[in-house]
Amino acid sequence: MKTRVEKAPIIDALAAEWRAIDHLVSGLSDADWSAESGLPGWTVGDVVAHIVGTENMLDGKEPDAGRDVAGLDHVKNPIGELNEHWLDHYRTRTRAEVMADYRAMTAKRIADLTAMGDDEWNADAVTPVGPETYGRFMRVRTYDSWVHELDLRDALGLDEPSDPVPAGFALDEMAAVMPYLVGKKAAAPKGTRVAFEFTGLVPTRVHVAVDDRAALVPALDGPADVTLRTTVADYTRLAGGRPRAAQATVYIDGDVALGSAIVDSLHYMI
Residue 9 has pLDDT above 90, yes or no: yes
Indicate if the pLDDT at residue 6 is higher than 90: yes
Over the stretch 224-257, which tens digit does the pLDDT of each residue have? 999 999 999 999 999 999 999 999 999 999 999 9
Q: How far is CA 264 from the centre of its chain?
A: 19
- Answer for the pair 194, 265: CB distance below 8 angstroms, yes or no: no
Over residues 106-133, the mean pLDDT reads 97
pTM surpassing 0.85? yes
pLDDT of 80 strictly over 90: no
Checking if the pLDDT of 266 tops 90, the result is: yes
User: What value does the mean pLDDT take over residues 62-74?
Assistant: 76
Q: Across-strand partners of 155?
A: none
Largest CA distance in the chain: 58
Asked whether the predicted pLDDT for residue 50 surpasses 90, the reply is: yes
Kind and range of the H or E element at 215?
strand 214-217
Mean pLDDT taken over the chain: 95
pLDDT digits (tens, 9 = 90+) for 164-193: 999 999 999 999 999 999 999 999 999 999
Residue 75 banded pLDDT, cuts 50, 70, 90: low
The burial of 236, by beta-carbon neighbours within 10 Å (0-12 exposed, 13-18 middle, 19 or more buried), is given as buried
Counting Cβ atoms within 10 Å, is residue 129 exposed (0-12), middle (13-18) or buried (19+)?
A: middle
Res. 47 pLDDT band, cuts 50 70 90: very high
In which element (H, E) is residue 232 found?
Answer: helix 232-240
Cα 218-210-133 angle, rounded to 5 deg: 60
